[in-house]
């Protein structure tokens, strides 16, 4: 931490600050400028009391961290792009990946038809929710374990690895038994105990952005995964809540190049939750590719009008086929395959 003292702080007040820093277990290094004195306090904050409270002292102007609190996810720690591989599908490499499937698993027929169609159109990973985080308790909550079994069946039939949401710590073992990638949803993005439990499974984690999460908070959430010995982290932008309600969320495409600067982890974009409108999905896919995303996650349903969740944002099987054709030149232009 850097502690900046107010101009003209007396020797006595400066000594009191240095004494406090030592008392809390840090080593102070004093730098005297013309007008101000700056103190660098060296020590590990995980094992000592925080120095932030010094900002309440009358002689202290400000207290600033020297280091970012995320380390393992940062570019500084790992300058090269990292990749995440599941069942031979590598995310973050030269090849651009598309995850696709229904918002919710509803039935065997619905899931298998969708899985076969998205694979044929070029998707490489199957998505589908079995445990659904619904705003109202009266809405469809997902098929639970039955949904997971159907996802496993769809995987057997198509060979596509499966990404599905881990909603609660209680389901960790169960979901990890069936899923290839564990999705942490927007509502749980700062549920740190869940992040730790998910990380400990060793499975790749798709960490969605909390709907009101700042980039720094998101990176810290990602740090929980990697700090718990799981380097297989994917960040997924899915839109944030703003004043705008034409779209369900505001898909923040600027966060893609921001994440590319700040972290080495692959970046995924979800234009379905991001817009809430199927008609906008293709355009946002193109934008995400141009911004440098490594993968997309897209909701696809055989009959969106009768979907049990998120009907307005799911594209049809035919619509997905066209979308894949439409985005192809953008993938090539971005230097990906």
Binding site for ligand PEP (CB under 6 A): 103, 129, 133, 185-186, 208, 238, 270, 273
Shortest Å, Cβ 186 to ligand PEP: 4
Nearest-CB residue to Mn ion?
A: 103
Report the residue from 1, 155, 310, 327 that binds Mn ion according to the rule CB under 5 A.
Answer: 310
Closest CA to 219 of 277, 270, 267, 262: 262
Shortest Å, Cβ 136 to ligand PEP: 14
Among Mn ion, ligand PEP, none, what binds residue 238 when CB lies within 5 to 8 Å by partner kind? ligand PEP
Of 129 and 147, CB closest to ligand PEP: 129
Report the residue from 51, 99, 103, 289 that binds Mn ion according to the rule CB under 5 A.
Answer: 103
Contact criterion met (CB below 8 Å) for 272 and 313 = yes
Shortest Å, Cβ 253 to ligand PEP: 15
Shortest Å, Cβ 143 to ligand PEP: 14
Shortest Å, Cβ 208 to ligand PEP: 4
Residues 6+ apart with CB under 8 A from 98: 122, 123, 124, 125, 295, 296, 298, 324
The number of angstroms, rounded, from the C-alpha of 111 to the middle of its chain's C-alpha atoms is 25
Among Mn ion, ligand PEP, none, what binds residue 208 when CB lies within 5 to 8 Å by partner kind? ligand PEP
Closest CA to 17 of 26, 65, 35: 26
- The one-character DSSP state at 52 is G
Q: How far apart (Å, rounded) are the C-alpha atoms in residues 230 and 223?
A: 10
Closest CA to 299 of 333, 262, 322, 273: 273
Among Mn ion, ligand PEP, none, what binds residue 237 when CB lies within 5 to 8 Å by partner kind? none
**x/- contact string, 47-86, with Mn ion (CB under 5 A)?**
----------------------------------------
Shortest Å, Cβ 93 to Mn ion: 27
Of 117 and 163, CB closest to ligand PEP: 163
Of 37 and 86, CB closest to ligand PEP: 86
Residues 6+ apart with CB under 8 A from 24: 43, 48, 49, 51
Of 5 and 130, CB closest to Mn ion: 130
Contact criterion met (CB below 8 Å) for 233 and 189 = no
Shortest Å, Cβ 266 to Mn ion: 21
Query: Which pairs count as long-range contacts for 52-60, CB under 8 Å and 24+ apart, including other chains?
Result: 52/1, 54/3, 54/17, 54/20, 54/21, 57/17, 57/20, 58/6, 58/13, 59/5, 59/6, 59/9, 59/10, 59/13, 59/14, 59/16, 59/17, 60/3, 60/4, 60/5, 60/6, 60/17
- Provide the H-helix boundaries in the chain: 11-23, 108-121, 145-158, 172-178, 192-200, 215-227, 255-262, 271-275, 278-291, 317-333
Of 264 and 301, CB closest to Mn ion: 301
Of 74 and 313, CB closest to ligand PEP: 313
Among ligand PEP, Mn ion, none, what binds residue 203 when CB lies within 5 to 8 Å by partner kind? none
Of 119 and 238, CB closest to Mn ion: 238
Among ligand PEP, Mn ion, none, what binds residue 25 when CB lies within 5 to 8 Å by partner kind? none
**Contact between 298 and Mn ion (CB under 5 A)?**
no
Shortest Å, Cβ 188 to ligand PEP: 8
The number of angstroms, rounded, from the C-alpha of 42 to the middle of its chain's C-alpha atoms is 31
Of 28 and 129, CB closest to Mn ion: 129
* Contacting positions for Mn ion (CB under 5 A): 103, 310
């Amino acid at each position: 931490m850097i502690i900046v003292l107010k101009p003209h702080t007396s020797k006595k007040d400066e000594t009191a600050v240095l004494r406090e820093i030592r008392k809390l277990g840090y080593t102070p290094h004093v730098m005297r400028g013309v007008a101000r004195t700056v103190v660098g306090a060296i020590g590990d904050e995980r094992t000592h009391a925080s120095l932030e409270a010094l900002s309440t002292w009358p002689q202290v102007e400000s207290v600033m961290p020297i280091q970012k609190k995320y380390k393992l996810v940062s570019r500084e720690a790992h300058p090269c792009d990292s990749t995440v591989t599941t069942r031979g599908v590598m995310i973050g490499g030269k090849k651009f990946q598309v995850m696709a499937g229904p918002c919710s698993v509803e039935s065997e027929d619905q899931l298998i038809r969708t899985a076969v169609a998205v694979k044929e159109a070029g998707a490489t990973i199957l998505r589908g929710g079995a445990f659904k985080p619904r705003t109202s308790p009266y809405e469809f909550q997902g098929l639970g374990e039955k949904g997971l079994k159907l996802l496993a069946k769809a995987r057997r039939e198509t060979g596509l690895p499966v990404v599905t949401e881990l909603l609660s710590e209680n389901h960790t073992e169960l979901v990890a038994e069936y899923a290839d990638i564990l999705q942490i949803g927007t509502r749980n993005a700062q549920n740190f105990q869940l992040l730790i439990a998910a990380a400990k499974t060793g499975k790749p984690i798709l960490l969605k952005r909390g709907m009101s999460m700042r980039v720094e908070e998101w990176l810290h959430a990602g740090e929980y995964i990697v700090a718990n010995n799981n380097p297989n982290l994917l960040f997924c932008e899915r839109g944030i809540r703003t004043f705008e309600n034409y779209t369900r969320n505001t898909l923040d495409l600027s966060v893609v190049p921001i994440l590319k600067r700040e972290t080495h982890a692959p970046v995924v974009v979800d234009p379905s939750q991001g817009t809430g409108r199927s008609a906008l999905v293709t355009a946002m896919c193109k934008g995400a590719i141009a911004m440098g995303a490594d993968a997309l996650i897209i909701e696809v349903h055989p009959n969106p009008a009768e979907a049990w969740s998120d009907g307005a944002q799911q594209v049809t099987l035919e619509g997905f086929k066209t979308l894949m054709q439409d985005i192809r030149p953008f993938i090539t232009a971005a230097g990906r395959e």
